[in-house]
A and B are shown apart, each in its own frame.
Chain A
Amino acid sequence: MQQKIPFYLLVILLICLGLGSAVYRHINLEIPWLPGETREVWSVEARVEFTALGEPVIAQMAIPETQQGFTLLEQSTASPGFGLSYLTEENIPAVRWSTQDAAGKQVLYYRAQFLLDAQQQRPWPDAPQVLAAPILSETTALVAERLIEQARLQSADQITMAAQLLNILQSDDQQVQLLLQDRSVEEAAMLLMQLAAIPARQVTALRLKNSRRNQDSRAYLMVYDTVHDVETEDQRVAFFNLATGKEGRPQRLLIWELGDRPLIDLEGGRNTRISFSMQRDVAPVQQALEQKYADVSAMQISLHSLPLEEQKLFRGLLLIPVGVMMVMLMRVLVGLRTSGTFMPVLIALALMQTALGAGLAGFVLLVVSGLVVRSYLSRLNLLLVARISAVIIIVILLTATFSVLAYNLRIVEGLNIIFFPMIIIAWTIERMSLLWEEEGGGEVMKQGGGSLLVALLAYVVMSNQYVQHLTFNFPGLQLVLLALVLLLGSYTGYRLIELFRFNALHGRNRNAAK
């Protein structure tokens, strides 16, 4: 019992490690437990149109970046004849097109792909400095003063105060009209913020709606609450739609630019017009995450970072332990005998490459015809190595023949027969034919049937999409499998078939009989 304790500790440790790493990946890399989950990926395109004046052109447009709720996956431009550079100016990312000379109508495209990503919590840029308000006429200053006073009375902090101010701006109040006489709502809002010393940005945003073209951007006011939460450094922000004065950020509101600047800065052209179009794609989580984590640190590296070909390989490799586990279950708990311990796993792997029915038919066909040929070989008095080699060659020939036949008969699945491990099949044929010679067809059926049954079971489990999803995305679960194998390997209870085998041992008390 004493040496059992470290053993169980090891098993528990393995299980904890395995489950722990799976939970870690689930939480930190957002890999879902179940397959089939999807995410929205938005393609947003900005179309810049202008008339060039026939002189050097420089067009610089602010571009969006990863922000709360959105992760930037990739971006591209289409602008024939223009030089292109990405830059960051005062923390605001931008794209700049330039050319020596251009005349007439020009169209530039910028396209970005965003993952709609509730997990994305990148903080907003810090609150801007509150600039000194411009010099105002006396009446305007007085009106503004009064409005701010009124709002201050009805608010608790900077954000509620901003809400009050924007609310007031929407009303038909005479004073408000006076204020709006020679400035737009946006300008008036910014002015009030400055006068009230509320840090705020005027930002350009896009409402993402599926399959829209020719959309205009919207002006939002982003208000910071700097008075609160100074210690926690947790800045609160609120968004206000400047057109309606309403507070709140709709779920699919992409902030395109937050630099208090015009979207585009154009030299050498006029009649600029920017319009947006957007398109939603539903991508499987895997693919979306792959792009999201395409370049993160080694700690979080997953098999997704491998080239597709290798990924496929690993998908298969990581399933093998599951198959092996099934074989162990069948042997240790049930007591089924198979010819060649892990041959069923190999058959199952081959079946996964082929369609099930065609695969099984192909396998049985190969083995049976191999047996027929082998029975002739056994009369030739050959050495074992020579015989196995001969069987391998024949198996390959048979495979080729069947493939060609199947192809010409338009049975496409027939081609998949080449996925069977030839050498293994050759050995299987050799063993079965020996078994046949020595113990008769019954035993061949028993062991062959046992192997096929276990192979089928392994196939069913290995081709299950949940199993595939879990093994590939949570490699740590292999440790759990390892722990289970260790446990199974130390199981000393009876096997299922022993309950039948020892059935004849129904109680006979020998001591009493004496």
Chain B
Amino acid sequence: MGNILELKNINKIYGTTVKTQVLYDINLGFKEGSFNSIIGQSGSGKSTLMNIMGTLDTPTSGDVVVDGVITSGMKASQLASYRNQSIGFVFQFHYLLPEFTALENVLMPYRIGHKTVPKETTDRAKELMKLVGLEKVMNNNATQMSGGQQQRTAIARALLNQPKMILADEPTGNLDSLSTETIYELLRDINDRFGTTFIIITHDRRIAEKADRIIEITDGRINLDLLKNN
């Protein structure tokens, strides 16, 4: 299978007067359906890299190629549609909308792209809530849930549009180890079931070792790119 996402000679420099280079000549390709982890010290540039992969941020030089198209040539509205259709984000801080219920939050990516929500989509949202073990609290407001529940809701939300790729930035960063374990089981399970590509940032080596591929970033450079053959 081909690469769903490719990074070519990515450099990222922050600041205009005081320049800080955060990423140096990154070249990476991700296979469709693969389960990847990115590890590295805090401040090594992982989040910066992920935001560039997700088209939220732009590299100072180099190209991001999605489905064979260079993203720098796309208009803001095209990028927004692409993100809506093809990427599911899970951030360290879940980012649910506190004005909406858990189920409404899960449905949000679909509503952004469509005028009306058919019953099948609502049913799928409920199915996903069940998958993440939250069918009992899906009508709670986002603020009336525990951290772990909110993060699982964010995962269900990332899955709703059946994106080809899920980008997760330390999705379990502020969870206890038991919740962390459950969430990783869940992500692996989804990867197996739907063939969704996963790129997960973590600084938990135990978790990283469960991935098919481990990429280690050190000071903005790829220090290690380990592909497990199982």
A binds B: no
Chain B positions near chain A (C-beta within 8 angstroms): none
Chain A positions near chain B (C-beta within 8 angstroms): none
